[in-house]
């Protein structure tokens, strides 16, 4: 840090960098650079078809794709990464609201993780469902992105 950026650098930024892995920094880059909310999903399975009870099977699933192939990409541990970003104050996750627009959550049903869960159900009645939400950067997240050079 030098005089050019000292005014815009919050003292917490050094600790934020220390508390993120290199993989986390790669994944969060797109979220911090994007000024609109991004879709995030919680995958659930109903306990029975007759009750409203459910089990959460996958938390904080993001629409990640392989840049080379365009295929859906699994990224083990992304659920923990998202929890860490929330803890650090870089993003907010809200399952009370959804990203607007047709097809915003269509990617979910082509994800390998979800296809495996559907396969496990076999011929049973469809008990698999989801809770749609959104993830977006906070003011601290924007300031952090600007300070570390993620914003043009």
Assign residue 27 the CATH number of its domain: 3.30.110
- What's the distance, CA 22 to chain centroid? 16
Q: What is the pTM of this model?
A: 0.86
Mean residue pLDDT across the chain: 88
For the stretch 31-60, pLDDT in tens is 999 999 999 999 998 887 777 888 999 999
Tokens of 48: 């029975």
Q: Does residue 79 contact residue 61 with C-beta atoms inside 8 Å?
A: yes
In a domain, 148, yes or no: no
In a domain, 113, yes or no: yes
Write down the pLDDT at residue 5: 54
Q: Does residue 31 contact residue 84 with C-beta atoms inside 8 Å?
A: no
Q: Does residue 44 contact residue 30 with C-beta atoms inside 8 Å?
A: no
Q: Pick from 39, 148, 20, 144: which is nearest to 95 by CA?
A: 39
In a domain, 111, yes or no: yes
In a domain, 37, yes or no: yes
Domain that holds residue 101: 6-143
Tell me the average pLDDT across 13-34.
91
Q: pLDDT-derived band of residue 1, with 50, 70 and 90 as boundaries?
A: very low
Cα–Cα distance measured from residue 61 to residue 78, given in angstroms and rounded to the nearest whole number: 7
Q: Does residue 137 contact residue 90 with C-beta atoms inside 8 Å?
A: yes
The CB density around residue 14, as the number of other CB atoms within 10 Å, is 11
In a domain, 151, yes or no: no
In a domain, 15, yes or no: yes
Cα–Cα distance measured from residue 111 to residue 79, given in angstroms and rounded to the nearest whole number: 15
Q: pLDDT-derived band of residue 128, with 50, 70 and 90 as boundaries?
A: confident
Instruction: Look at the chain and report how many structural domains it folds into.
Output: 1
Q: pLDDT-derived band of residue 67, with 50, 70 and 90 as boundaries?
A: confident
Identify the residue with better confidence: 7 or 21: 21
For the stretch 82-122, pLDDT in tens is 999 999 999 999 999 999 988 999 999 999 999 888 888 76
Cα–Cα distance measured from residue 40 to residue 98, given in angstroms and rounded to the nearest whole number: 8
Write down the pLDDT at residue 133: 97
In a domain, 130, yes or no: yes
Write down the pLDDT at residue 125: 59
State yes or no: pLDDT of 123 exceeds 80. no
In a domain, 150, yes or no: no
């Amino acid at each position: 840090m030098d005089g050019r950026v000292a005014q815009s650098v919050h003292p917490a930024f050094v600790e934020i960098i220390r508390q993120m892995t290199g993989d986390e920094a790669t994944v969060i880059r797109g979220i911090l650079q994007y000024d609109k909310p991004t879709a995030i999903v919680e995958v659930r399975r109903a306990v029975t078809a007759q009750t409203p009870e459910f089990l959460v099977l996958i938390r904080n699933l993001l629409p990640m794709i392989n840049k080379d192939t365009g295929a859906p990409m699994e990224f083990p541990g992304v659920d923990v990464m998202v929890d860490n970003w929330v803890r650090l104050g870089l993003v907010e996750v809200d399952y009370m609201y959804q990203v607007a627009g047709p097809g915003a959550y269509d990617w979910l049903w082509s994800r390998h993780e979800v296809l495996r869960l559907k396969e496990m159900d076999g011929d049973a009645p469809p008990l698999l469902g989801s809770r749609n939400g959104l993830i977006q950067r906070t003011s601290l997240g924007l300031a952090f992105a600007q300070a570390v050079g993620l914003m043009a």
